[in-house]
């Protein structure tokens, strides 16, 4: 029996009760099915490529073609029903399961044995860094810099360390328009990177899985980087019409070198300009990673070592970090400023806007 209009209305109400965000791809699918069920095939003019949200919605609706209203209505009801069932089955928190830290929605922040652990906590989104996570990471770093812990560790929940910037950040354009969005985003990025430059304690990255974009470029500002052998490191900036950030235009050539002939090893240009993906072993060979551990023993070996380090004299380590960072602090701030100026221009360029719109459009297709 086909779903009725009353069933459709009930499904719309059910959707409002979902406890978990189903994700942008599913939300676009729901939007398209609802429009098809209530209005029929898409007849609206195609929005400008710069209007990311409207264009993504138009693409999703238009992709349904001549799908009958009755079929779209049934598909919508079935999809909401499957989402509701999934939400109900996964909503109870099992003993020992991760829970969000007070004051944070995108991070798990804990302190144990003189170590503050900051964990990216969007595993269903591959720990992509959205605008909220930017703000929460700055808060977590500021808090860690002032607490009694000796060192701070950044890692990821789930299979990924972090998939980098959540590209839906680019679609959140308010009344100020694209130029105002670019300015505010660059200010946020500049302040965010400065938090890593100025962090006063030993800062360790425990890269538990693939790292992409800004999750990779920031590693040059960490004191130690440990990686699972399942980790990979990818900076696909050129693919998106973008450029490196996180001071990597300075730290990566310094770490990896710039020689064109390197006997099979990888240069910073290959990584940052051409987007060459590195394995954990390659990243370690080029100096981006301090040490690689088998995935099966990664957590145990890394945390055993960090607990040993946390027993070292606190003030001595802090002063040592200060001496090392003071050598380049001014340079790093200048590089961050220069990168951010260039990034603002890229975000405003047709080349980047078209590339990001194309990427989001591909993701929206189910």
Q: Per residue in 162-213, pLDDT tens?
A: 999 987 765 555 545 667 778 888 999 999 999 999 999 999 999 999 999 9
Share of the chain above pLDDT 90, in %: 58
Q: Among 71-80, 218-227, 326-335, which stretch is predicted with the lowest mean pLDDT?
A: 71-80
Mean pLDDT value of segment 280-294? 97
Q: What's this model's pTM, rounded to 2 decimal places?
A: 0.72
For residue 7, what pLDDT is reported? 87
Q: How far apart are the first and last CA of the chain?
A: 25
Q: How confident is the model at residue 101 (pLDDT cuts 50, 70, 90)?
A: low
Q: Can you say whether the dihedral through the CA atoms of 59, 57, 160, 273 is positive or negative?
A: positive
Residue 73 has pLDDT above 50, yes or no: yes
For residue 8, what pLDDT is reported? 86
Q: Are the C-beta atoms of residues 232 and 211 closer than 8 Å to each other? A: yes
Give the integer Cα–Cα distance in Å for 209 and 328. Answer: 29
- Per-position DSSP letters for 47-87, written without gaps between them: PPTT-HHHHHHHHHHHTTTT--HHHHHHHHHHHHHHHHHHH
Give the integer Cα–Cα distance in Å for 244 and 237. Answer: 7
For residue 346, what pLDDT is reported? 87
Give the integer Cα–Cα distance in Å for 41 and 37. Answer: 9
Domains in the chain with CATH codes = 5-92 (1.20.80.10), 107-361 (3.90.226.10)
Residue spans of beta strands (DSSP E) within the chain: 107-112, 115-120, 151-156, 203-207, 211-212, 224-228, 232-234, 278-279, 291-293
């Amino acid at each position: 029996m086909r779903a009725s209009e009353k069933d459709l209305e009930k499904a719309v109400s059910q959707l409002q009760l979902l406890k978990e965000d189903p994700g942008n791809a599913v939300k676009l699918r729901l939007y398209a099915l609802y429009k098809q069920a209530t209005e029929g095939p898409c007849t609206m003019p195609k929005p400008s490529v710069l209007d990311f949200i409207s264009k993504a919605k138009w693409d999703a609706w238009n992709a349904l073609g001549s799908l009958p209203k009755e079929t779209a209505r049934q598909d919508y009801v079935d999809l909401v029903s499957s989402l509701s069932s999934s939400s109900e089955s996964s909503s109870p928190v099992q003993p020992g399961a991760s829970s969000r830290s007070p004051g944070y929605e995108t991070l798990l922040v804990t302190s144990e044995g003189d170590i503050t652990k900051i964990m990216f906590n969007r595993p269903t989104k591959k720990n992509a860094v959205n605008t909220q996570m930017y703000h929460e990471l700055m808060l977590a770093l500021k808090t860690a810099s002032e607490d009694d812990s000796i060192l701070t560790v950044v890692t990821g929940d789930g299979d990924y360390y972090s998939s980098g910037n959540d590209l839906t950040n680019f679609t959140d354009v308010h009344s100020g328009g694209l130029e105002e969005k670019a300015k505010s985003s660059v200010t946020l990025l500049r302040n965010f990177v400065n938090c890593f430059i100025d962090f006063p304690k030993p800062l360790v990255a425990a890269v538990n899985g693939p790292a992409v974009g800004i999750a990779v470029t920031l590693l040059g500002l960490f004191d130690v980087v440990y990686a699972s052998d399942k980790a990979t490191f990818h900076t696909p900036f050129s693919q998106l019409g973008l450029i490196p950030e996180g001071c990597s235009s300075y730290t990566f050539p310094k770490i990896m070198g710039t020689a064109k002939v390197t006997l099979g090893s990888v240069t910073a240009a290959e990584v940052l300009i051409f987007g060459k993906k590195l394995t954990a072993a390659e990243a370690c060979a080029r100096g981006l990673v301090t040490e690689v551990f088998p995935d099966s023993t990664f957590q145990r070996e890394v945390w055993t070592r960090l607990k040993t380090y946390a027993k070292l004299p606190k003030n001595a380590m802090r002063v040592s970090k200060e001496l090392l960072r003071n050598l380049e602090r001014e340079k790093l701030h200048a590089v961050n400023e220069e990168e951010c100026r260039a990034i603002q221009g890229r975000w405003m360029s047709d080349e980047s806007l078209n590339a990001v719109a194309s990427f989001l459009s591909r993701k929206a297709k189910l």
